[in-house]
Structure 1
Amino acid sequence: MFDPTSFPEPTLISVNGVKLEVFDAGAHNAGRPVVLCHGWPEHAFSWRHQVPALFAAGYHVIVPNQRGYGNSSRPTEVTDYDIAHLTGDLVALLDHYGYDDATFVGHDWGANVVWGLAQLHPHRVNKVINLSLPYMERGPVPPIEFLEAVFGGDLYLVHFNRQPGVADAVLEANTSRFLRNLYRKNEQPAEPAPGMAMINLALAETPRGEAVLSDDELAVLVSAFESSGFTGGLNWYRNLDRNWHLLADVDPIVRQPALMIYGDRDTVAKSENLTDFVPRADVVSLDCGHWIQEEKPEETNEAILTWLEQQES
């Protein structure tokens, strides 16, 4: 039996040619699976506030560290982190548990994977709940090419692709400081400094704003990334153009019921045409920044559980 006062113990599960470190709770609630998908640079632990709430509501909660993270496999080939592999892991995880489909919840990069999963494997997804990152319309040119032309080579998305290994080394040399400086809220607006934002964060002596994580929570993340490094997660970014090609002939419409949760202070822009591509989307906005489920755990839980209840009624 899962103790709701602590995070579940992990199991290593072989799926899709890799091993995933999976935390699950509520197996006795079989038939009501909810899969929680973290972003970058996150960890299954980022869902610690949602697991007990979903468990108590009668769901089988499945929380993988996706490939490249925690104690999950970290393949060496960049192409092993494309959207086909990432969504394939989740489909294989459903197969492992014997489920035809599930509700998938994603934050940040995890949301991007869930949007892709709903397109590539629509019959395996019964509902979508995504935080921070809305559905992104497929543009006329590969995204890195577009972003580089508009924002230049210092944009972190471009930098990760054009200078592989550079950011990885800086973040790994400054893991604790980088994560401490990144997980902040209520930062005052400031002019962006020259250079690459993530490297600047890793080297900054003083954090801005207020801490999102307690010292103990931050220590969990620091320990995980000191062990895994950052390259696996950064390789997700290095497949943005490849993913653009892989999704070229896929139906762009996400037809499942969907809940989009925004943080009003998030630097990720809200979608102006979400329902053009996700026609059954409902939207909730919370007064917080990017780390939605950690900044506003109770409000996030309420939004998720209320919406799920509405879908089942």
Structure 2
Amino acid sequence: MFDPADFPEPALIPVNGVELEVFEAGRENAGRPVVLCHGWPEHAFSWRHQLPALAAAGYHAIAPNQRGYGNSSRPVDVTDYDIEHLSGDLVALLDHYGYEDATFVGHDWGAFVVWGLALLHPNRVNKVINLSLPYQERGEKPWIEFMEDTLGGDFYFVHFNRRPGVADAVFEDNTSQFLRNLYRKNEPPGEPRPGMALIDLAGAETPLGDPVMSDSELAVLVSAFESSGFTASVNWYRNLDRNWRLLADVDPIVRQPTLMIYGDRDVIARSERLTEFVPNVEVVSLDCGHWIQQEKPEETNQVILRWLGRQG
């Protein structure tokens, strides 16, 4: 297991009207930037296994806590967490380092941001590597409306939007237990139950399956969320329909060379039409659940480094 004491010390970097807490490795490899974007409810620490591997392979690895997370700024307005702001932070981070463009790696919500960044600022992204969340097609109906129609009001995306503050408060009252119960692998399949699944998870006394990380690793996340709370990170979800509108007039095709990594046991659905929107994509599947780069760190590193090596 990883010793949290080995994780790099962060710097607070002013970007785009906020400050981001940024961890990096391989600064001596200036000119070969790889920016790693975490998901929810995560932290730059989720890339602890990738930072040293990328640095050893000659890359400048940069992992920000994105706005709302860790010791990065947590603006109050919900709209400060839309795709324009989130992608703008990453562009400003490149400007801070003096980079024209970079390879961007995203997991979960971080993947959504990287897909959006590639559409909104294509000249700043030279390659895309996304884990778990494939490209999300922009359909006729805003995303939350569509989810409400198909998955109901208790689906967590919908619940976060229609009942703001309710789930955040439960997570904050049960931070340690919620994160312990969430970061699991090899969970036995269960019947879907009525109610809001994540609220139920936060209240569950006994976790299922096996832990994804050691107690000392989990403590890093628990400490971060006990300090930051959950509202700022959940505000990302409260911008999905706004993002749908912001992307209305953008060319929807991701043209950069792309690597898509799925977990075979992930609950997130694969994209049936990925190549229509991401024509330059290579797809790899690993035998794991949702927390891909933490469940299978060595395999993830090998897949990423081999793919980057082939891109030249």
TM-score range, shorter chain: over 0.9
The root-mean-square deviation of aligned C-alpha atoms, in Å, is 1.1
* Contact 1:255–1:279 (CA under 8 A) maintained in structure 2: yes
Say whether 1:188 aligns with 2:203: no
Residue-by-residue CA offset, 1:100-152 (whole Å, 9 max, x unaligned): 00000000000000000000000000000000000011010101111111121
- Spell out, residue by residue over 1:16-75, the C-alpha distance to the aligned partner (whole angstroms, 9 max, x if none): 000000001111101000000000000000000000100000000110000000000000
2:305 aligned residue: 305
Aligned to 1:110: 110
Question: Helix, strand or coil: the match of 2:307?
Answer: helix
The answer to whether the Cα contact below 8 Å between 1:142 and 1:241 also exists between their aligned partners in 2 is: yes
Check conservation: 1:4, 1:52, Cα contact below 8 A.
no
Residue 4 of structure 1: how far off its partner (Å): 11
Residues 293 and 300 of structure 2 are in contact (CA less than 8 Å); yes or no, is this contact kept in structure 1? yes
Tell me if the contact between 2:188 and 2:209 (Cα under 8 Å) persists in the aligned partners: yes
2:214 is the counterpart of 1:214: yes
| Amino acid aligned to 1:120 | L
Structure 2: distance between partners of 1:224 and 1:277: 36
Q: Are 2:36 and 2:64, in contact at CA under 8 Å, matched by a contact in 1?
A: yes
Q: Distance in 2 between matches of 1:117 and 1:298?
A: 27
Is the counterpart of residue 227 in structure 1 residue 194 in structure 2?
A: no
Mapping of residues 134-173 of structure 1, within 5 Å: 134-173=134-173
- 2:127 is aligned to 127
- Opposite residue 216 of structure 1, the aligned amino acid is S
Q: TM-score, normalised by structure 1?
A: 0.98
Which blocks of at least 5 consecutive residues in structure 1 are unaligned? none
Which residue pairs with 1:100 in the alignment? Answer: 100
What is the CA-CA distance between 1:5 and the residue it aligns to? 8.1
Give the match for residue 9 of structure 1: 9
TM-score by length of 2: 0.98
Question: Which residue number in structure 2 is paired with residue 289 of structure 1?
Answer: 289
Matching of residue 24 in structure 1 with residue 24 in structure 2: yes
| 1:209-259 deviation per Cα after TM superposition (whole angstroms, max 9, x unaligned) | 111010000000000000000011100000000000000000000000000
What aligned pairs does 1:260-299 form with structure 2 within 5 A after superposition? Answer: 260-299=260-299
Aligned residue number for residue 75 of structure 1: 75
Larger mean CA deviation between 42-51 and 187-196 belongs to 187-196
Q: Supply the distance in 1 between the matched residues of 2:191 and 2:277 (Cα, whole angstroms).
A: 34
- Number of aligned positions between the proteins: 310
The 2-side partners of 1:68 and 1:7 are apart by: 20
1:200 matched to which residue of 2?
A: 200
State the shift of 1:7 in Å.
Answer: 1.1
* Residue in 2 that maps onto 1:59: 59
